[in-house]
Amino acid sequence: MDKIHDVIIIGGGPAGLMAGFYCGTAGMKPMILESLDFLGGQSAALYPEKPVYDVPGIVECTGQQLADALTEQAMQIEPIVEYNQSVDEIKQVDGIWNLICKSGKVYKSKAVVVAIGKGAFSPIKLGFPGEDEYFGNGLTYTVKHINEYKGQEVLIVGGGDSAMDWTCTLKNVAKSVTLIHRRDGFKAHIGAVNQIKAMSQAGEIKMLIPYEIKKIEGKSKIEKVTVFNNQTNEETTLSVQSIIICAGFKPTSDSLKKWGLDLNEKGLIKTHELCKTNIPGIFAIGDATEYPGKRHLIVMEFGEAASVAGAVSTHIYGKGKGGAEWWSGPKKKKTDNIEVNNNNSTNVKPVPVKQ
């Protein structure tokens, strides 16, 4: 008979990792199912080298350092982690949750915590000529290694926080940074926009608004990009080796729609007190959720992770069993302690340890 786990957490981003940690400190043995082949969610996948300044107790770290630290912290309570398992369906059979993955594997648990972020994400494309052709040859939607941009002339496209972040970060690394945005209004925080405008006025970066890409030129790699003013049609050709498109990511939440959870108009899970959803036994935390006062910040996800552990404990054991408390720490320091599922050992990776 298949093992019935206490709780399965869907998603190994900041929310899922800390939910695993707190469920462990509350005496449960959690399982984390992650559709990617690494943990850390957006911080590892989308901004591994971006500085993060707003996680309490950490003055400054990169997205990857945060992902590594969260992973190491969560692994102390020895969760079972399964990589490359994208949960597609959730069904209740005789009071037990059956989580059916796209791989065909089925995992069973007494409770479920949905921590899928905005879903399995893919970049939004802008549709200009050459976008697909130059993808991977200088054109990217995510920045993995800042040093790749050393000495390069970089074009950043977008008006959101990612575009502002990368403009700020890469101006100190690249030979030059040009930011183009198709309209006057910005989605980014006003503070970040003002900072970028000040940098443009000081000549530290170039900013072109309202501009879009017209064409890319170059033999196999990008050499030149022609951009145009979408109001006057005036064209400018820039010498560029790298283009970073920051138009956002489309969450693929098709699976989520099948789970019967109440979603709001943005497709986010409506949660109530103690991270409860409309379905008893299914809880939700992190970027996947929205409720009055919610901010999509890591600091909020940590609080939700602690809260959901108590709620899951009560759901499984009834009142009085307690939830996440101060933890007295591991009995001994462990760094490579993911439980190995022998049926699927290729799926289990050692815990990345910060050197």
Query: Of residues 42, 65, 109, 152, which one binds ligand FAD by CB under 6 A?
Result: 42
- 65 is a site residue for ligand FAD (CB under 6 A): no
In the beta sheet, which residues pair with residue 51?
Answer: 62
Cα angle 190, 250, 172 (rounded to 5 degrees) comes to 45
Rounded to whole angstroms, the Cα distance separating 177 from 169 reads 10
Sign of CA dihedral 173, 177, 182, 185: positive
Q: State whether residue 338 is helix, strand or coil.
A: coil
Chain positions 193 to 222 lying near ligand FAD, rule: CB under 6 A, are none
Token readout for 75 is 């692994």
Q: How many CB atoms lie within 10 A of CB 136?
A: 8
User: Binding pattern to ligand FAD, positions 227-266, x when CB under 6 A?
Assistant: ----------------------------x-----------
- 49 is a site residue for ligand FAD (CB under 6 A): no
Determine contact, residues 122/97, Cβ cutoff 8 Å.
no
Query: Of residues 158, 281, 286, 310, which one binds ligand FAD by CB under 6 A?
Result: 286
Contacts with ligand FAD by CB under 6 A: the residue count is 38
Query: Of residues 5, 8, 9, 12, which one binds ligand FAD by CB under 6 A?
Result: 12
Distance of CA 115 to the CA centre of its chain: 10
Range in contact with ligand FAD (rule: CB under 6 A) among 37-45, 103-111, 129-137, 268-276: 37-45
Token readout for 161 is 């926080």
- 164 is a site residue for ligand FAD (CB under 6 A): no
| Least distance from ligand FAD to the Cβ atom of residue 86, Å | 4
Which helix (H) or strand (E) element contains residue 259?
Answer: none
- 167 is a site residue for ligand FAD (CB under 6 A): no
- 15 is a site residue for ligand FAD (CB under 6 A): yes
Q: In angstroms, what CA-CA distances link 118 with 18, 110, 122, 217? A: 17, 24, 10, 34
Return the axis-axis angle of helices 298-317 and 14-25, rounded to nearest 10°.
40
Q: State whether residue 110 is helix, strand or coil.
A: strand
| Least distance from ligand FAD to the Cβ atom of residue 235, Å | 30
Token readout for 39 is 């943990």
- 269 is a site residue for ligand FAD (CB under 6 A): no
- Cβ closest to ligand FAD, residue 26 vs residue 268: 268
Determine contact, residues 4/99, Cβ cutoff 8 Å.
no
User: Binding pattern to ligand FAD, positions 76-115, x when CB under 6 A?
Assistant: ----------xx---------------------------x
| Least distance from ligand FAD to the Cβ atom of residue 289, Å | 8
Which positions lie near ligand FAD, rule CB under 6 A?
A: 10-16, 33-36, 41-43, 46-47, 50, 52, 54, 86-87, 115-120, 162, 165, 255, 286-288, 296-299, 301
